[in-house]
Amino acid sequence: MKLYIDPITVNCRKVVAGLDLIGADYEEERLSYFGGDHKQAAYTAINPNAELPALVDGDMKLWESNAILVYAAEKMQNGEAYPPDPKVRADITRWLLWESSKWFEACYVYLVENVVKPMLDNTPDKAILDAHAPMFHARAAVLEASLVDRQWLSAGHPTIADIAIASPMHLHGVQKLPLVDYPNILGWIARVEALPCWQKSDPVPHIPPELLAKVG
Ligand SMILES: N[C@@H](CCC(=O)N[C@@H](CS)C(=O)NCC(=O)O)C(=O)O
């Protein structure tokens, strides 16, 4: 399998950590997100959405990070990271869909305003963040309540659901995600951050130091 990534991005961190949790071997093809490699014809022939990541396995070109996680887990028959019980799979599928339809959107504005804009010498727009906050809190409340009686999202141990949901908040400190009122989320993300697969996929060493210095 060949994985096309830039390790600094949210959805690439997701597949790098997820494939490590799954124990899937792959060859890495590194592209530059800030350099716009994902918009070049060589890559859009693989992912016509011009978005990272993508996976190529033989004649299959697979995009959508959560589909990549499910495919790799099924291919490796990893019953820990993606347990075969239909109810657990349904629960994990629910979290993967919620991440791509709700949670990514809820967290992304903080990444743009508080991380990407400063890196590009622009100022975070407080009005945009204030307008966005109610949506973030409505969705964070769903996650908070779901974690009230559990250490991990599904199955009682780390699965691809935890990796998927953690990814949009992977830089939550510098993103300045307003998590102070969510003790269950904070406890859970600390557990994710202690996982070897999460630590090995840390994007910070891949961010040019001159860009990193611009983020407060
Ligand atoms: N739903 C897609 C989203 C992929 C996505 O948005 N990737 C970002 C990086 S995290 C990207 O490459 N965006 C293209 C751009 O900003 O030009 C997935 O989960 O793979």
Ordered by start, the domain boundaries in the chain are: 2-76, 86-200
**Is CATH 1.10.1040.10 the right assignment for the domain spanning 86-200?**
no
- Please give the number of the atom of ligand 1 that sits closest to the Cα of 14: 19
pLDDT at 92: 98
- pLDDT (0 to 100) of residue 113: 97
Predicted local confidence at residue 35, as pLDDT: 93
Q: Cβ(166) to ligand 1 under 6 A?
A: no
Give the pLDDT of residue 29.
98
Q: Is the pLDDT of residue 105 over 90?
A: yes
CA distances from 187 to 35, 74, 136, 144, 190 (A): 36, 29, 18, 10, 5
Q: Residue 188: what pLDDT?
A: 98
Cβ atoms of 14 and 204 closer than 8 Å: no
CA distance 41 to 169: 30
Asked if the domains 2-76 and 86-200 are classified in one and the same CATH topology, the answer is no
Are 31 and 21 in contact by the 8 Å Cβ rule? The answer is no
Assess whether pLDDT exceeds 80 at residue 216: no
Residue from 51, 112, 119 to probe ligand 1 pocket by mutation (most atoms less than 8 Å from CB): 51
pLDDT tens figures, 54-90: 999 999 999 999 999 999 999 999 999 999 999 999 9
Ligand 1 atom nearest the C-alpha of 38 is: 12
For residue 49, the ligand 1 atom closest to its alpha carbon is: 14
2-76: in CATH 3.40.30.10: yes
Q: State the pLDDT at residue 74.
A: 98
Would you say the CB of residue 44 lies under 6 angstroms from ligand 1? Answer: no
Between CA 159 and CA 24, with CA 147 as vertex, the angle to 5 degrees is 10
Average the pLDDT over 88-116 and give the result: 98
Å from CA of 52 to ligand 1 middle: 5
User: pLDDT by residue (tens digit) across 141-183?
Assistant: 999 999 999 999 999 999 999 999 999 999 999 999 999 999 9
109-137 residue pLDDT tens: 999 999 999 999 999 999 999 999 999 99
**Over the range 166-195, which residues count as b (16 or more CB within 10 Å of their CB) and which as e?**
bbbbbbbeebbbebeebebbeebbeebeeb
CB 14 within 8 A of CB 163: yes
Is 11 touching ligand 1 by the criterion CB < 6 Å?
Answer: yes
Work out the percent of the chain whose per-residue pLDDT is above 90: 96
